[in-house]
Amino acid sequence: MKLFEHEAKEIFRAFGMPTPPGGVARTSEEAKKRAEEVGKPVVVKAQVLSGKRGKAGGVKFADTPDDAARHAEEILAMRINDLPVEAVLIEEKLDIQQEIYVGVTVDRNARKYVMIGSSAGGMSIEELAEESPELIIKHHVDPFLGFRAFEARNMAIAMGFKGKNINRLGSFFIKLWQIVTKYDVELSEINPLILTKDGRFLAADARLNIDDNALYRHKDIIENLHREPAEMNERELKATAEGMAYVELDGDIACICNGAGLTMATLDAVALYGGQASTFLDLGGGSDKERVEKGIEIALQYDKVKAILVNIMGGITRCDDVANGIVAVRDDQGIDVPLVIRMVGTNEKEGQDILTKAGIPFLKTMEEAAAKVVELVKEVK
Amino acid sequence: MAVLVDKDTRVLIQGITGSQGTFHSNAMLEYGTKIVAGVTPGKGGESVNGIPVYDSVKNAKEAEDATASVIFVPAPFAGDAALEAITNDLNPVVLITEHIPVRDEMIVVHAAKAKGITVIGPNTPGIITPGAKQKLGIMPGHVFSEGVVGLMSRSGTLTYEIAAGMTNAEVGISTAIGLGGDPCVGLTAVEAVELFKQDPETKALVLVGEIGGDAEERAAAYIKNEYDLPVVGFIAGRTAPPGKRMGHAGAIISGSSGTADAKIKAMNAAGIQVAEKPSDVARILNELL
């Protein structure tokens, strides 16, 4: 679950990490008010769950409250990476001495958290890794000992800080680690962390993603946010509620399969034969008749879908259940796009008999099925 | 011969009284797996499919001399169950459960490492050695036939698809290991190749990967330097868009890392033939063997 910048900063402040003075605004009037409260030049920042908002024009400086209101109005009317901007954050424009990077993520190979710091903040960590990798300081956290104050100080020292700034910067790493352990954070970045000309350290930006698998132990956060954990359309909500993995794409062939790897491979096979998938829909293991019905129903609600490819490798999932589900959807509500079915494995014969009786053709290999659905889509077009 | 699981493996099922545990312990028994005990705290003294149930792993191990564990415990409690198995020196520990918090996974992986125990998964279909008629997991046993190819994969049904293709083409399997679809898993692809390298009966490998992370690149680098027998690869997600999780928690292209292209390139550079379609895997193996 991704948090908005202003939501993440609320958590940062609760743990004692200073952020620039300011507040959230959802209208231009509110933006003006926030800027008046700050009483200094401000920055107006789009609140979207997407990087690169600066490049999209979602960050603007304002010298007066009227300027802030005008910028807020523009930004609130924008869509960034196809997401609507529903709020802006108004904050004091800082007098920058130095931009710093502080972050934490999961290292999949080490299977440990890794704390990351750099004296050259402001740009993305990927860009930094290309331009000056020597400026990136990493520390893998011992899963049993956790992250300790001396390790935080060592990071600040390695980043080139001296004197009192060692502890001042170190405390951001410590607090970030406290947030990680408290909220099952999967990734967090303070980029930039700003050292002002008058010597203050402030978290000027904030990114905080919580492990979706751990949300059950952080119900308090979700309640405080007063919003859904993710921005999802109606179909995504339905599929998620059913425990299916559902991703919408730009093509026109819905691929409904069981298992994530098989679904990806089916999308690839469709592309190999010249088609393009509209839908990744993994029904999950042990799919019964109802699941198959619901999956097809959800897939049909996406207006880009011009054909459906069902590819089932029966294991726990039984082909007769799948066949019954397909027949039920067709008989109950009709399937008005070409349908190609490939299923093998457990109870294959029974399933194929059901389809044959219902007059629905099926194929034996996933390659034949992918080629067939691509051919049918071309006819529809 | 095989890796990790052979005819002497004595299996304990954690979470055996749940619906998944009951269903799959029955399927495992039918296949031939030597299940000696089950564990569900509070249900000691009961039995499931004729298997005695104990309150703790400690009790079950003492009474039935179990050597390995398969875990079907729901995600919020799965980390604890795995640590219980590790503490009692069961090896391997097969963690079937999906959706375990990554912080729990990290603790489990490193607790196992410290004791030299192999954790398979989480979010895995398990491990199967057809020659010993032992499966520790949820895969359909009949699609795997006995043979000389070691198979490792990050997915479930795609593995069955490839294994079924191999069986049809009369190419058998020594051991097939589901490495798991999560970003953090116990047994890595590199470690799996190391195990297969030490098994004299395994004459070739199949490495089934998918987008996300760089486990395949690491395995390819290891194979290039250390493994001399034929290896065939397959990568799912060639057409997956960046930034979207494709079903598995670990299957995501972040920025420019974790792409299928990078993996295929690394595999080709290591002399691994990468199949374009799942069905090509068996065909290429037949040519190589």
What residues in A contact B245, CB-CB < 8 Å?
Answer: 245, 247
User: Are B106 and A366 a contacting pair at CB < 8 A?
Assistant: no
A282 min Cα distance to partner chain B (Å): 7
User: Are A367 and B279 a contacting pair at CB < 8 A?
Assistant: yes
B146 min Cα distance to partner chain A (Å): 18
User: Are A106 and B183 a contacting pair at CB < 8 A?
Assistant: yes
Q: Which of B103, B118, B166 to mutate to test the interface with A (most CBs of A within 10 A)?
A: B103
> The domain B139-288 is classified under which CATH number: 3.40.50.300, 3.30.300.30, 3.40.50.261, 1.10.3720.10?
3.40.50.261
Q: Give A218-274 pLDDT, tens digit per residue.
A: 998 888 887 777 778 899 999 999 989 999 999 999 999 999 999 999 999 999 999
The predicted structure's pLDDT at residue A123: 87
Choose, from A186, A189, A293, A348, the residue flagged as catalytic. Answer: A189
B63 min Cα distance to partner chain A (Å): 31
Tell me what ipTM this predicted complex has: 0.94
Question: In the CATH scheme, what architecture does the domain B11-120 have?
Answer: 3-Layer(aba) Sandwich (3.40)
What residues in A contact B103, CB-CB < 8 Å?
Answer: 181, 184, 211, 214
Question: What is the residue-averaged pLDDT of chain B?
Answer: 96
Antiparallel, parallel or unpaired: β B231-236 and A88-92: unpaired
User: Are A345 and B248 a contacting pair at CB < 8 A?
Assistant: no
pTM summary value: 0.94
Alpha helices by DSSP H, listed for A234-347, are 234-241, 260-272, 289-300, 319-333
Nearest-by-Cβ selection for B161 from A213, A277, A313: A313
What residues in B contact A181, CB-CB < 8 Å?
Answer: 103
Choose, from B24, B110, B142, B248, the residue flagged as catalytic. Answer: B248
Whether A256 contacts A281, CB under 8 Å: yes
Q: Which of B20, B239, B274 to mutate to test the interface with A (most CBs of A within 10 A)?
A: B239
Nearest-by-Cβ selection for B158 from A181, A216, A261: A261
> Taking residues A276-295, what's their average pLDDT?
90
Q: Which of A126, A128, A213 to mutate to test the interface with B (most CBs of B within 10 A)?
A: A213
Residues 31-90 of A with CB under 8 A from B: none
- Positions of CATH 3.40.50.720 in chain B: 11-120
Q: Give A81-135 pLDDT, tens digit per residue.
A: 778 899 999 999 999 999 999 999 999 999 999 999 999 998 888 889 999 999 9
A262 min Cα distance to partner chain B (Å): 4
User: Are A213 and B215 a contacting pair at CB < 8 A?
Assistant: no
Q: Is A274 on the interface with B (CB under 8 A)?
A: no
A137 min Cα distance to partner chain B (Å): 20
> Taking residues A302-308, what's their average pLDDT?
96
pLDDT tier, A346 (very low <50, low <70, confident <90, very high otherwise)? confident
Q: Is A189 a catalytic residue?
A: yes
Q: Is A101 a catalytic residue?
A: yes
pLDDT tier, B1 (very low <50, low <70, confident <90, very high otherwise)? low
The predicted structure's pLDDT at residue A49: 86
The predicted structure's pLDDT at residue A27: 96
How far, in Å, CA of A291 to CA of A243, rounded? 10
How far, in Å, CA of B236 to CA of B251, rounded? 9
> Taking residues A132-141, what's their average pLDDT?
96
Nearest-by-Cβ selection for B155 from A249, A259, A345: A259
What proportion of chain A, given as a percentage, has pLDDT over 70?
Answer: 100
Whether A273 contacts A371, CB under 8 Å: yes
Write out the two tokens for B278: 């799942």
> Taking residues A139-160, what's their average pLDDT?
98
pLDDT tier, A361 (very low <50, low <70, confident <90, very high otherwise)? confident
Question: What is the residue-averaged pLDDT of chain A?
Answer: 94
- Positions of CATH 3.40.50.261 in chain B: 139-288
Q: Is A247 on the interface with B (CB under 8 A)?
A: yes
- DSSP secondary structure string for all residues of chain B: --SS--TT--EEEETTTSHHHHHHHHHHHHHT--EEEEE-TT-TT-EETTEEEESSHHHHHHHH---EEEE---HHHHHHHHHHHHHTT-SSEEE--S---HHHHHHHHHHHHHHTPPEE-SS--EEEEGGGTEEEESS-GGG--EEEEEEEES-SHHHHHHHHHHHHTT--EEEEEE--SSSS-SS-HHHHHHHHHT-TT--EEEEEEESSSSHHHHHHHHHHHH--S-EEEEEE-TTPPTT---SSTT---BTTBS-HHHHHHHHHHTTPEEPSSTTHHHHHHHHH-
Q: Is A379 on the interface with B (CB under 8 A)?
A: no
A204 min Cα distance to partner chain B (Å): 23
Q: Is A261 on the interface with B (CB under 8 A)?
A: yes
B8 min Cα distance to partner chain A (Å): 26
Question: Residue A77: is its pLDDT beyond 90?
Answer: yes
Q: Give B221-257 pLDDT, tens digit per residue.
A: 999 999 999 999 999 999 999 989 999 989 998 877 8
Sorted by where each starts, the structural domains of chain A and their CATH numbers stand as 21-92 (3.30.1490.20), 96-225 (3.30.470.20), 234-376 (3.40.50.261)
Q: Give B150-182 pLDDT, tens digit per residue.
A: 999 999 999 999 999 999 999 999 999 999 999
What residues in A contact B247, CB-CB < 8 Å?
Answer: 245, 247, 259-261, 263-264, 280, 282
pLDDT tier, A171 (very low <50, low <70, confident <90, very high otherwise)? very high
User: Are B250 and A108 a contacting pair at CB < 8 A?
Assistant: yes
Q: How many CB pairs under 8 A join A and B?
A: 161
Nearest-by-Cβ selection for B278 from A186, A277, A366: A366
